[in-house]
Amino acid sequence: MARLMEGLWITVWISMLSVGLSVLFGIPFGLLMAAKTRVVAKLMRIYLEFIRVMPILVMLFLFYYSLSRVFGINLSAYFVSVLVFTIWGAAEMADLVRASVTSLPAHQWESGRALGLSSLQVSLFIIVPQAIRRLLPGVINLTTRMIKTTPFVFFINIPDLMKVGQQIVEVAGMRNHLASVWVYGFIFFIYFIICYPISLFSRYLEGRWQ
């Protein structure tokens, strides 16, 4: 049980760190995508599409096994997993930011200017608050998707929730045939406990902010 909690902890911090970094990188990327410059927007688009079709597992393997072999650098499994999740998350985040900024009607900007607000004031008091409201549900959704994807780190030998579960099953399985049902069922339950409130929260926000 205590070991399961340790595994859970690893799952949680890998996903939280990745989400945090994704938001950090995703916002400027998203603003670039929303920018008028066609070339930059196109490049960002290609990056996003590329990341989306690329299975996360393949990326994990690529960075963890292949790169270290080729370049002789030994990246820690934790570093690789956060890196890969951030590459993916930042791309998704950028797309969310782009969508939330471009979906704001142009006359919001205009009516702010017509009141004599400077462009900085319009951004600060009108555009950003609305963009954040539109962004939040998407970010939360991304968070749950990330938590659900973390078990992949299992394959590069990080003792996350799944890995620990498997080890327990291997040991206990000798004595108890139903051990796997209990342990994996419990893990299933833990994921549900974490993700469901998050998605409820996001629905609540969506309802509140229309």
Among the listed residues 67, 64, 42, 57, the one whose alpha carbon sits nearest the alpha carbon of residue 88: 57
CB of 205 to other proteins, least distance (A): 13
| Helix 77-102 with 38-53: angle, nearest 10 deg | 130
CB of 135 to other proteins, least distance (A): 13
Start-end of H helices in 115-178: 119-122, 128-149, 161-172
45 vs 113 by CB, closer to other proteins:
113
32 vs 117 by CB, closer to other proteins:
117
Structure tokens at 210: 């229309």
5 vs 128 by CB, closer to other proteins:
128
CB of 128 to other proteins, least distance (A): 10
133 vs 148 by CB, closer to other proteins:
133
Q: Give the burial class of 154: count Cβ atoms within 10 A of its Cβ; 0-12 exposed, 13-18 middle, 19 or more buried.
A: buried
Binding residues (CB under 8 A) for other proteins: these are 105, 107-108, 110-118, 121, 125-126, 129-130, 133, 209-210
CB of 117 to other proteins, least distance (A): 6
125 vs 196 by CB, closer to other proteins:
125
Structure tokens at 192: 């549900």
Q: How far apart are CA 27 and CA 31, in angstroms?
A: 6
**Number of Cα atoms under 13 Å in the Cβ half of residue 144:** 19
CB of 4 to other proteins, least distance (A): 43
